[in-house]
Structure 1
Amino acid sequence: MKNFIHRFYHFSNSWTGTIIIVLFVIFFVAQAFVIPSGSMKKTLLIGDHLFVKKFSYGLPTPHLPWLEIPVLPDFNGDGHLISSEGPKRGDIVVFRYPKDPKVHYVKRCVAREDDEILFQDKNLYVHFSEGDDYIKTHYPADKIKTIAGKLWVNNPYKEQFHGIHYDDGVDLFAQMVLHLKANQLAMKPALVAELPMVAGYSNFNAFYAKVEKGHYYMVGDNRDHSNDSRFWGSVPYSLIVGKPWFVYFSWDDDYKIRWNRIGRSVDSLQFDETLF
């Protein structure tokens, strides 16, 4: 054992050993990630530098850092060397952007396969695939609404994760209509009798989507300032990378260090009411 430790020590101190160890960590354990936009504000802030836990949802096929070129074939056809059931509802997830897999995004998983989503400005309704009994068991009556003969939960994660919020100064519904006209919206317009009409629109008052098999619906906590699944669709398991782990460095736009965030796990940040 001592001989092995001695050899490993000398190997790790060589250039070759250092490169191999670093690549092993990046490929299979953790990878650095910087929050580039405000889509997850207030939970994660621009300038947060964090490590992503690569083994949270199986083990993704390793890619060379920066070049994002896969170094092994996709043996299982799902982008992972070892597969798992994937993200749970409510998880913050790092994944590859479906329109450009070389780019990494971070959002919250709000729905899984076969879940249904209705969006009306400031209201995100989810009908979970487990059905009405599951919804009645897991959510309070004041968050449940009957729509088209089924139960839906309005903003199911908003009270649990305090960073989820809307901007009263933004009319996202109108913006989504513009994206719809430009064929840049993944949701379909819907006329829902149980929801109020939206001023200026008579043919529809909401947007609808159903999550495909093996996919996950990702939405930013900064609900009115997020480019997410509402615009470009759900994310297949093959593009799931991992789960944010902890913040190792953070600074604001003025390059002032946020000491109260450094060393904090992302789980502790999203449940800390003092930060919001």
Structure 2
Amino acid sequence: MQKLKSIHKFSQSWIGTIIIVLLVIFFFIQAFTIPSGSMKNTLLVGDFLFVKKFSYGLPIPHIPWVEVPILPDFNGDGHLLRGKEPQRGDIVVFRNPLDPKIHFVKRLVAKGGDEVVMVGSTLYVKMSEGDEYMKQNYADSIVYIQNQIFVKEPYKQKGIHTDERVDMEATYNLYLSRNAFAMQPIILSGFGEVGANGANAYYYAVPQDEYFMMGDNRDHSNDSRFWGSVPYKFIVGTPWFTYFSWDENKNIRWERIGRFIDTLENDERYIHHKESKIGALE
């Protein structure tokens, strides 16, 4: 009883409060702001989220803002404790492989052992569990590519969309010319004419323990198509719920506050259908 009283007294002190807050930030929950439109229509610019950092293990804690790790990477995988791996379809917060101090949020569309094909804005995934798994779980979306089974557009969340104003083939060509495109140009029969770069589709084999991420705002997303898959060591967690939200004019979006991410991505009432501006990938 005396120990409980001591703990209670310590928690009410300034030092105790600071330590408790830091422990929560370091190990359990992180505040995150949606900085770009790559996840429209699911998550919007100006959504403020809490991220569950323990969803996929316990990441190495970093000092906020400066993003300096406070502990060594003992296991070499960016985590103090390894947890379950992210699943296909999850919305995941992770560190940008090109600059680990920057956090991204995207949807995981393929994991280690999967094969990904993009034809324009259309996603095809050959899942590592094999043909029977795909037939049993994605019977309505099965297609054959070069006599192999793929799943066409496996994810049906309402916020996933394309923008018919955007020529993705031109975008792919631009990034290929800059040597900033991770997928391999290929030729597939039955998928239209071969383009200027000698391809009509793009292929990526996801390495083990890595994850292929794409934004729901498919044609306005800077994602794994351009810089490759994300190793587990960069996985931070998954968004939990919005604690605040406002638009570009600082008008509060009351209807989004307190909503869990599962609601925002599946309930038509919260899906934002405003078109993105045509511009650089986000």
CA distance in 1, matches of 2:149, 2:196: 25
Structure 2 residue corresponding to 1:224, chosen from 194, 210, 219? 219
In structure 1, list runs of 5 or more residues that go unmatched. none
CA distance in 1, matches of 2:178, 2:250: 38
CA distance in 1, matches of 2:5, 2:43: 42
The answer to whether the 8 A contact 2:181-2:226 is kept is yes
- Residue 181 of structure 2: SS of its match in structure 1? coil
Cα-to-partner distance string for 1:80-125 (whole Å, 9 max, x where unaligned) = 0110232000000000000000100000000000100110112111
Q: 1:214 aligns to what?
A: 209
Instruction: Report % sequence identity.
Output: 57
Root mean square deviation of aligned Cα: 1.2
Q: 2:22 aligns to what?
A: 23
The answer to whether the 8 A contact 2:173-2:197 is kept is no
- Residue 260 of structure 1: SS of its match in structure 2? helix
Letter in 2 for 1:195: F
In structure 2, list runs of 5 or more residues that go unmatched. 272-282
Q: 1:233 aligns to what?
A: 228
Question: How big is the shift at 1:261?
Answer: 0.5
Cα-to-partner distance string for 1:148-201 (whole Å, 9 max, x where unaligned) = 2211111110x2x11000000001121111101110000010101132225x53
CA distance in 2, matches of 1:156, 1:23: 39
Structure 1 residue corresponding to 2:184, chosen from 173, 185, 188? 188
The answer to whether the 8 A contact 2:175-2:181 is kept is yes
What TM-score, normalized to structure 1?
Answer: 0.95
Letter in 2 for 1:28: F
Question: How big is the shift at 1:17?
Answer: 1.1
Letter in 1 for 2:119: Q
- Residue 9 of structure 2: SS of its match in structure 1? helix
Counterpart check, 1:270 vs 2:268? no
CA distance in 1, matches of 2:66, 2:3: 34
CA distance in 2, matches of 1:201, 1:137: 38
Q: 1:72 aligns to what?
A: 71
CA distance in 1, matches of 2:85, 2:154: 20
CA distance in 2, matches of 1:19, 1:272: 38
Q: 2:278 aligns to what?
A: none
CA distance in 2, matches of 1:172, 1:4: 63
